[in-house]
Structure formats: C-alpha cells, structure tokens
Structure 1
Amino acid sequence: MSKEHFRLRALEALPASRLRLTYADDQTLEVDLSDWIETTRALAPLKDKTLFAQAKVGFFGHSVDWIEDELDLGSSNLRNLAIEQAGGIGHERIWTWLHETGLTLEQAAEALGISRRMLIYYRDGEKPIPRAIWLACLGWEAVRPQGQALPMRVASVREVAAGHG
C-alpha cells in the first residue's frame, strides 16, 4: 500500500511555531507545534525562532528536519495533528481504536457496517474519516456488543455510575 499521501513536497515555517505543509496529494495543511514544543523535552530547542525557521523537508519527504538525524518530526504525524487541529478526525484514532478493541480488520469493518477496504483507507489516512464512522467507533466502545447482536438500549449515565459506585 502506498504511503505517498504522507510524503511532503514543500513546507514553510510560519510565525508562532506553525508550519504550512504541502503533501504529494496536493493537500496543504497548517499545523501549530507550540504545545508540543512547550511540553516535549526533545523539541525544546525549537523554542529558538531562528532554528524553527530552518525547517526543511527531510528524507524523501517523510519528515520535517531541523537538525539532521537529531531533530525531526514524521510527516504522517504532522498530517494527523494538522487534521485534528482543524477539527477533523485523524487516522491515528482508527489505529488506536483497533488496537484497544483487539478487533481484526474484518470484525471492525463488520461492526461499523463498512467494507474492509474502506476501513483500511481510513486507518491508513488515504481517505478522511467521516464523523459518523468515528461516532460508530465510540458507540461500539460504549456498548461492547457480544456476538452478532447489538444491544437494544444503552445504559444511562446514572445506571453506569450506579454500577461503578
């Protein structure tokens, strides 16, 4: 499967620790790295505005590099963050959901009512994840159906709280 859509073609360092990223699929996204820089020790050198401005496209477009082999960020992680910051649903949520539920691709696709192929497109970031699909993931997580049958009703907040009290 091609990961071409994660390959960077161009980037521009912007004020306030932001990057404008242009990917091989012609999508241009802006990402704000200020929180990551403030909270991640390894990124602390990027508080230096001069260093931050030196951002460049890394190895085959798969990273943004500041100091070669020492300070870089993966282009797929940046794309996911940019999508989340813009109010979308990043593909890493599907990866995490699959991991946490232990479902196979076949089981997850059946649970969501979509094809295995479409789930792979969402998981791999090749297609945007519709809000309804993410809500279905959350709903599945809330009810954890057993077997083929979906529950007829979901416990209320009070019922859940009473059961855990």
Structure 2
Amino acid sequence: MTSRHFLLTDVAVTAPGSLLLSYADGERLPVNLHEIIARHPTLQALGDPKVFATAALGEWRDSVIWMDDDNLELASDNLRARVLEQAGECSHEVILDWMAKHGLTLDSAAQELGLSRRMLAYYRSGAKPVPRIVALAMKGWERQEVERDSARSVATSNPIKLNVEKLGKSVSPSSSPPRKRA
C-alpha cells in the first residue's frame, strides 16, 4: 500500500508542462515538468500541449499517466520529490541517491550522519521531510570523503622513500631513528 503522502487524490493540468497534484495527506502541490520532459526521450510526447492535457490519475492513484500509455507515466513519489526540489528543499530521493552513490547501508549512513537508524529511515522513505541540516551533513560528508581520497591518492602515487644506509641497516619513515650513544 502506498503511503498517504504519496497517494494522489487529484491531478489538474495548470499549463502545458505544469500540474497541480493533490495528495491524500491534504497537500496540494504545483510541479513543473519541463526539465524532465526535455531530459527523457520517452517523455518527449508530453511536450505537445494536447497530449499533456490528457493527464490523469494512474490506476492505483500512485502515478500520473497520459493518454492511458504506460510509457507516459510518472510515479507520485518522484513527482512529490520534484516539487520539493523545485522549492529548494531536499527530497527523500537525495538520500537514496547519496546512499547508493557511496555504497552505504541504512545503519552505516545513519552512523555517518549522526542520526538514529529509525529517523534516517523516515527521511529516506519520504515519511518525514528531510531537514536542511541533514542535506548539509551529506554534502559535508561527501567533501570530507573527497579530501580523504585525494590524500590517499597523493600518498600512494607519490611515496617518499627515505633510504639511509647506516651500519648496514635501511631506515624508513615508519621506523624510529637510531639512538645516539653518549
């Protein structure tokens, strides 16, 4: 069963490329789809205002479909995520993408962000809005990982070797210097 915040009750075309979506949780949200239509070749037909005007609720109320064509269908959770992103907020999809990009499990992602597993699960599912501080924490974590990777790359591609021959022994940076005798 689709969560109430992803279940559609109505869809209205407000202009070519724009919809007003009504969700079961009472939210009425406008969304602009011009960028999505332009980016995805399978949705090119939606660029025609006559085709776009055929927008209707999908069979299970968890999508918007055009011309009763399964190839012209967008899921309600993706549409809601687009609404949030167009408003400058962080959607649940950003968390899903971030976790997948870095190979993080729910447990490891929660630990890295300093959140409880349950709270991150709420954000990831879209059940609760993603706070700006969590979005910023993900960006900060990514930046930190880039710096760590960069430091590791420099260390492995440009090793400094110290090879001092003294009394037949080789000294490396990881060993301690020989003691002087008084």
The TM-score bracket by the shorter chain reads 0.7 to 0.9
User: Partner of 1:19 in structure 2?
Assistant: 19
* Partner residue, 2:172: none
Counterpart residue type for residue 121 of structure 1: Y
Q: 1:77 is matched with which residue?
A: 78
Query: In 1, Cα distance between the equivalents of 2:112 and 2:71?
Result: 42
Query: Which residue of 1 is the match for residue 43 of structure 2?
Result: 43
RMSD between superposed Cα atoms in Å: 2.3
Percent identity, please.
43
Find the residue that maps to 1:60 and give its secondary structure. coil
Question: What code does the residue aligned with 2:91 have?
Answer: G
Once the 2 structures are TM-superposed, how far is the Cα of residue 2 of structure 1 from its aligned partner? 5.5
Letter of the aligned partner of 1:6 in structure 2? Answer: F
Compute the displacement of 1:49 (Å).
1.2
TM-score (normalised: structure 2):
0.75
Deviations 1:45-82 (A, max 9, x none): 11221221111111211110112233211111111111
Residue 124 (structure 1) aligns with: 125
Instruction: State the 4+ residue runs in structure 1 displaced beyond 6 angstroms.
Output: none
For 2:30, give the aligned amino acid. E
Higher normalized contact order (CA 8 Å, seq sep 6+, divided by chain length): 1
Shift in Å, 1:44: 1.4
Q: Provide the rounded CA distance (Å) in 2 between the counterparts of 1:12 and 1:2.
A: 21
Query: Residues 15-53 of structure 1: CA distance to partner in whole angstroms, max 9, x if unpaired?
Result: 141000011111111110112222322111112212211
How many residues are matched?
151
The unaligned stretches of length 5 or more in structure 2 are 155-182
CA distance in structure 2 between the aligned counterparts of 1:108 and 1:44, rounded to whole angstroms: 37
